[in-house]
Amino acid sequence: MARPCLLLNPTSRHGRAARGTADRTTPMAQLQFRQALRAAMTEEMERDENVFLIGEEVAEYNGAYKVSEGMLDKFGPKRIIDTPISEAAFSGLAVGSACMGLRPIVEFMSWSFTWVCIDQIVNNAANVRYMSGGQYKVPVVFRGGNGIAHQLGATHSHRMESVYARIPGLIVVHPSTPADAKGLLKSSIRCDDPVIFLESEKMLNELGEVPDDADYTVPIGVANVERQGKDVTLVSYGRALQRVVRPAVKALADDHGIDVELIDLRTLRPMDTKTCIESIKKTNRCVIVDEDWGYCGMGSGILQKLQKPAFDYLDAPIEYVHSDEIPVPFNHYLEEAMMPSVDRIVSAVKEVCYR
């Protein structure tokens, strides 16, 4: 049976289980990020016959990045569906089938390709429930690789979170660990609203402990306080958190004696503003880090959400560390140079701490 998502059930914010924290007795498996995604889809397809996967190369080729490996053999061609290169067509098919009671998962090779089907996502998926007065639910998950990958050039490297997070009617999720990838994807598939599920291609090989439990879920809209600290609140999500934020937090503690409270947002819309504000009340300082462009970027939206309610508790303006505002270069060294670095984060934290 489908379970309403957090937007429709805010009381699920409370309690340890609601935050997706596995019990110590929960069996764990070492899984790659891609294997955790596959486990989530497999378990949900076994649980609910209305769930199906559709996209380019998801069946015969086992997925462009092998996320759906073996699923065609297990579920057959009626539920693991290959399509032509036609994002607008199969996204529209998914929206229509969701309105009729099915629960499609749409895989995009890259979120950069969704510029050609943005009408189906923004004009249709996001609006149908509101425009029909609640007569039609749209339980569809759009998922795939977001942002910079491995030297794929400007047209394959767009960060799309700020594009979709500004659209009412859409939920936007961006996990940063294999465990969250599994738990959040299962919650997204069970959600009755359209979910934008963003993954980083560079994280698909990352290993992590994942609860080996078909009932394990992580609630949408609840941030994770990954590290307790007292000097400054650092807010991030996705690959930036894994690639540069965690090393920066360690460097700040080891080299500068600055104790960082680290928050992984996990969901960008609806954003867990309450957890961030409570942290700022304790530290009185805040730095936001993401890989988006700065102007109208995701971090700008997060900053706008935090600045006013946190204003009376801040001892310094909130800082935002983001990528350089240029098309993403193909050259590996230039690609790395444009993105947030450990040094940039350390500098921003020292600035808000007046060090």
Q: Which of 44, 56, 107, 156 is catalytic?
A: 156
In whole angstroms, give the CA distance from residue 259 to residue 254.
Answer: 9
Where on the phi/psi map is residue 297: left (φ > 0), alpha (ψ -120 to 50), or beta? beta
In whole angstroms, give the CA distance from residue 236 to residue 226.
Answer: 11
Taking the CA atoms of 100, 50, 125 and 219 in sequence, report the sign of the dihedral they define. Answer: positive
Judge whether 46 counts as a catalytic residue: no
- DSSP alpha helix (H) spans, 265-341: 273-283, 298-310, 332-338
Strands (E), 122-272: 141-145, 171-173, 195-199, 207-211, 224-227, 232-236, 260-264, 267-269
Q: Which of 44, 87, 206, 319 is catalytic?
A: 87
Angstrom CA distances, 326 to 188, 193, 277, 287, 302, stand at 33, 34, 32, 22, 21
In whole angstroms, give the CA distance from residue 159 to residue 146.
Answer: 6
Cβ proximity of 234 and 287 under 8 Å: yes
Amino acid at 204: L
Angstrom CA distances, 231 to 278, 281, 309, 316, stand at 13, 11, 19, 12
Angstrom CA distances, 337 to 151, 269, 328, 329, stand at 13, 29, 10, 10
Judge whether 87 counts as a catalytic residue: yes
Cβ proximity of 112 and 157 under 8 Å: yes
Positions marked catalytic: 87, 156
